[in-house]
Amino acid sequence: MNKGNCKHKLSDMLLLVILARACGCETRKDIVAFGTIHLSYLQDHLVILAKGCPSEPTLCRMEGGIDDITLASLVSTLSRKYVSEHDGANRRHIAIDGKFMLGTKIGDGRSPDVVTAFSVTDRLPLDTEMCEVKSNEIKAVPKIIERADYMNGCVITADAMSCQSSIIKGIVGKGADYLIALKANQKAARWSVEDTVPTLRPNDEWKSEWELAHGRLYQRRCRVYSDISGIKALEKFLNVKAVVTIDTHTIEKNSGTEQNQTRYYITSLEEGAQTLDRISRMHWGIENNLHWTLDARMSQDSTKRKETKSARNLDSIQKLVYIIYTIASKKHLPEAIRKRKELLKVKFSAIASYAKNSLAYAISLLSL
């Protein structure tokens, strides 16, 4: 690239995009308008954008031109660095799950699937891998596990797509335990469990109180079956210690309609039924925290991208916004930042400098 044509620093443009998206900007037009309105503040207090606000085409070229693998690595490195420096006493819970980017259409019109390893304990994404179709999660998850230097001693939860002997072997090889859903994609194992479990006596059982949420009453019953030596189809799964069943009884408050559902899991954990039920529920922290924020607060699904590279960079930038503002809510930060409960409604002047320092720190970790 001819550096004589470069008016803006990459770090300046990234910080502009981060702050603009944090304040609710969705399109590049919105970002340019945001930068123009706040240009004096950005130049005087953050000392960026000395040549003025970049144009929409410039932002487009940045998003499509920056190396998507490097940017995703930068985001993951920042998050993991924070987690390693603020390790708590509790055993870390990592949920692995995928999310479609519905605003992006590639190939035959399908949306890419972004698989994320998410620390439920810290509410932070630790790593991501993009795949073009849902079935490719089977290939994406092993890549995340192979790179992981943070899984030792952790509990890993995942949906049935990760119920593969090779994936479970990788998890155990990293020194972690697992609780993974067992569904029809493992037909022999699922059918054997369904046939055998009714003949077994549970080693532990726990039933919740009735709860009301979203117009429904529901109650959960968790059972743990440790005597599974007779289920030969489970022998291929390394370190499997028990089968867990969770029965959910739901009653619609208005109509009175009742529904029963049974879910099956395999686990290497030797915990009681109440603990395993709690872990299974906490898995959805990735949906309730990360995925909800990306959609409801950052409009990821309505933001259109035509190429996989641009889509991944969009996902990385939005996750960087999420990480910076999640870390900013931690207790060790100033009261002006910490006391705000709304993720994206922190005082602009208080958070802008922090965002700049976080971005500079993240970039320095990769020596960019």
Residues contacting 45, CB < 8 A, separation 6+? 349, 352, 353
pLDDT, residue 124, reads 92
> Sorting pLDDT into bands at 50, 70 and 90, what band is 186?
very high
Q: What angle do CA 14, 5, 314 make, to 5 degrees?
A: 25
Query: In this model, does residue 89 exceed pLDDT 60?
Result: no
**169-173, 193-197, 219-223, 347-351: the lowest-pLDDT one:** 347-351
pLDDT, residue 333, reads 40
CA 112 – CA 102 distance, rounded (Å): 8
Closest Cα partner for 365 from 17, 73, 11, 69? 73
Q: Which helix (H) or strand (E) holds 325?
A: helix 308-327
Greatest mean pLDDT range, 106-110, 211-215, 327-331 = 211-215
Q: Which helix (H) or strand (E) holds 114?
A: strand 113-119
Asked if 141 contacts 159 with a C-beta cutoff of 8 angstroms, the reply is no
pLDDT one-digit tens code per residue, 307-335: 778 888 888 888 888 887 787 666 444 34
pLDDT, residue 216, reads 87
CA 215 – CA 360 distance, rounded (Å): 46
CA 309 – CA 303 distance, rounded (Å): 14
User: Exposure of 363 by Cβ count < 10 A (0-12 exposed, 13-18 middle, 19+ buried)?
Assistant: middle
Q: What percent of the chain has pLDDT over 90?
A: 43
Mean pLDDT for 61-83 is 86
SS3 letters across 267-284: ECCCCCHHHHHHHHHHCC
Closest Cα partner for 219 from 230, 209, 234? 209
Domains of the chain, earliest start first: 3-65+328-366 (no CATH), 69-292 (3.90.350.10)
Asked if 168 contacts 241 with a C-beta cutoff of 8 angstroms, the reply is no
Query: In this model, does residue 293 exceed pLDDT 90?
Result: no
> Sorting pLDDT into bands at 50, 70 and 90, what band is 138?
confident
Q: Can you give the pTM of this predicted structure?
A: 0.84
pLDDT, residue 350, reads 53
> Sorting pLDDT into bands at 50, 70 and 90, what band is 175?
very high
Residue 238, CA distances (Å) to 11, 151, 157, 189, 262 in order:
45, 16, 15, 14, 24
Q: Quote the tokens at residue 107.
A: 């190939």
Mean pLDDT of all residues belonging to the chain: 83
Mean pLDDT for 292-319 is 77
| Strand bridging mode 216-225 / 211-213 | antiparallel
Mean pLDDT for 199-218 is 91
Asked if 317 contacts 309 with a C-beta cutoff of 8 angstroms, the reply is no
pLDDT, residue 345, reads 41
Mean pLDDT for 131-135 is 64
Query: In this model, does residue 192 exceed pLDDT 70?
Result: yes
Asked if 352 contacts 45 with a C-beta cutoff of 8 angstroms, the reply is yes
Which residue is listed with tokens 């119920």?
A: 163
> Sorting pLDDT into bands at 50, 70 and 90, what band is 356?
low
Tell me which DSSP letter residue 8 carries. Answer: S
Mean pLDDT for 78-99 is 83
pLDDT, residue 344, reads 38
